[in-house]
Amino acid sequence: MGSRRYLLKKSLQALSTLLFVLAFNFVLFRMIGDPVKLLTRSNVHLTPADQAELRAEFGLDKPLPIQFIGYLGDTARLDFGRSLQSARPVWAVISERIWPTVLLVGVSTLLSTAFGLLIGIKGAWQRGSTFDTGTLFGSLVLYAMPEGWLGMILLITFAGALTWFPPNGYEDLTVTHTGFAHIADVMNHLLMPCLTLTLGYIGEYIIIMRSSLLEVMGEDFVMTARAKGVRDKDVRRRHAVPNALLPTLTLVFYSFGFVIGGSILVEAVYSWPGLGLLEYQAIQGLDFPVMEALFLLISGAVILFNLAADVLYSYLDPRVKDA
């Protein structure tokens, strides 16, 4: 199968998955409950005429097929309606929270990937050593540890008992910082939630990199290179590691959705004003329009990164195009 056919095949698969998510999203949030009835519970002053007006505003007075067509058109225009909590356009609410989540997830993913790969490589190359045993045990513990629980432990220890870092928020709202002072303030608030997410996912990358490199070390081309007298350092750098990186790098893209899921708990623990905290607040307040939009946004991001992983895999290992 050629490169174009492979890319076309994967793109069509991603598109079909996105269409399924759109349909599932539409059905799911109409099965959970009626937004108008939920509003009626919290506001007893809504008359039947007010309820009918709200149904018309939400488009709930139309048949489901008409609602679905309108839903597709609104989604294409990024029009997700209005938040039930703030009465603001949903996209305006979401767009304010994107950058903090991108910053948190991006930095923590880079750190967990970089350190995970380095530790996994060293552990596999020194298999059975004290370093390998200790890091493998530590990675298994971190891999099994829930991000929310880990965040609370770090929060109590470093922000509560030791008071080394601020306990919550994106920046210090009591002081106006500009320039480098503002960047330093944001980084100071970022450190704890970033450390939590980094520790939460570094164990997975260590385990995958270690097992992948151990498998490659038993391949014929590595043994041949050693038999030719190639230095151990060069065997690792030129032959073993490049081939072992393939499954680990693609794992980073595939696990993006799990990182976003973990950020919901971490952002809630540290009150980090990103998409995770917004999702948590929307669930608490039964803000269906925001929940629906975030579900679609996160699902779309996962589909996009999975497509990127498939493309990267085909570039690093052209044999998958013929599979």
Q: What are the two backbone dihedrals, phi and then psi, of residue 218, each rounded to the nearest 5 degrees?
A: -90, 0
| pLDDT at residue 42 is higher than 60 | no
Structure tokens at 25: 């999203």
Q: Of the ranges 19-23, 95-99, 131-135, 301-305, which one carries the lowest mean pLDDT score?
A: 301-305
Structure tokens at 301: 């991001």
What is the pLDDT at residue 36?
Answer: 65
Q: 121 and 214 in contact (C-beta within 8 Å)?
A: no
List, for residues 250-301, the tens digit of each pLDDT value: 777 777 766 776 688 888 888 888 888 888 888 887 777 888 888 888 888 8
Band (pLDDT 50/70/90 cuts) for residue 135 is very high
286 sits in the region (left: phi over 0; alpha: psi -120 to 50; else beta) called: left
| pLDDT at residue 206 is higher than 80 | yes
Residues facing residue 89 across a β-bridge: 82
Band (pLDDT 50/70/90 cuts) for residue 119 is very high
What is the pLDDT at residue 73?
Answer: 86
What is the pLDDT at residue 38?
Answer: 62
Burial letters 162-183, b for 16+ CB under 10 A, else e: eeebbebebbeeeeeeeeeeee
Residues facing residue 82 across a β-bridge: 89
Mean pLDDT, the chain, rounded, equals: 81
> Which of residues 103 and 55 earns the better pLDDT score?
103
Query: Which domains are delineated in the chain?
Result: 96-322 (1.10.3720.10)
| pLDDT at residue 84 is higher than 80 | no
What is the pLDDT at residue 321?
Answer: 58
What is the pLDDT at residue 46?
Answer: 64
- How far does Cα 6 stand from its chain's mean position? 26
Task: In whole angstroms, give the CA distance from residue 27 to residue 147.
Answer: 30
Q: Is 82 helix (H, G, I), strand (E, B) or coil?
A: strand
What is the pLDDT at residue 172?
Answer: 67
